Amino acid sequence: MSAFTLIRTELETRRRELVVVSAADVDPDYRRVLLAGELDGWTSPGADDHVRLFFPVEGIPMETWPSREFTPIPVGPAVAFEFVLHDGGVASDWARAAGPGDRVVMGGPRRTMAIDGEPAWYVLLGDRTAEPAIRRFLASIPEDTPRHVVIADTPQLIEAMNALPELPGDGFVFAAAEQSVVAAARAFLESRGIPIDSAVIKGYWRRGLSADAPK
């Protein structure tokens, strides 16, 4: 029997109007936006939770606004989001122009995942779109628990994943990047004898579409 299990729970959700408190570039390709507003009762307990942000378009109903999914980062009474900046993405364009007072609508998370028990180790793999989730996982790991963290573009990520040493005991694997990481990560799990139900494997975006395109 594994030393831990992954517990998934459905959450009650509603859409909430938020406003930008601040926005700043972390580096030339990455921007962090802090939002506040209708957050009473809102919760995001899981490291890889996702919410949907709806970006305003004047003159059309909110239900038809373009929307994208992101990992929320709770910050006290506010919530932050981090955007990979690139040309031609709805979310990227919004984040690049965002300033105090700008509004956005958030829905979710609809479900959350908790780790019940203590994995012997953690393997956390992702590209830059997965950085927020990886940092949230790291914040919850006991200091004395081994962890292997790789953040890289998908080809280098897959290469680093396959080069990981054999790890004893029952551990947890998180891998999220471009869609091709899914098949590669599943093959990695099979080759190491790691049960799929001890892992979270996600394609956050698809090659040929912008990195903030709907998943």
- Where do the domains of the chain lie? 7-111, 112-205
β-pair type (172-178, 147-151): unpaired
Who contacts 151 (Cβ-Cβ below 8 Å, separation ≥6)? Answer: 125, 126, 127, 128, 130, 131, 134, 157
pLDDT of residue 128: 94
H helix and E strand count, the chain: 4, 13
For residues 159 and 203, what is the distance between their CA atoms, to the nearest angstrom? 17
So what's the pLDDT on residue 213? 45
Q: Are 95 and 68 in contact (CB under 8 A)?
A: no
| Domain 7-111, architecture per CATH | Beta Barrel (2.40)
pLDDT digit string, tens, across residues 3-30: 899 999 999 889 999 999 999 999 999 9
CATH class of 112-205: alpha beta
SS3 77: coil
Q: What is the pTM of this model?
A: 0.91
Smallest CA-to-CA distance from 96 within 11, 29, 13 is with: 29
Per-residue pLDDT of the chain (215 residues; tens, 9 = 90+): 578 999 999 998 899 999 999 999 999 999 999 999 999 999 999 999 999 999 999 999 998 999 999 999 999 999 999 999 988 889 999 999 999 999 999 999 999 999 999 999 999 999 999 999 999 999 999 999 999 999 999 999 999 999 999 999 999 999 999 999 999 999 999 999 999 999 999 999 887 655 454 33
Q: How far apart are CA 65 and CA 43, in angstroms?
A: 24
List the structure tokens of 187. Answer: 């093959």
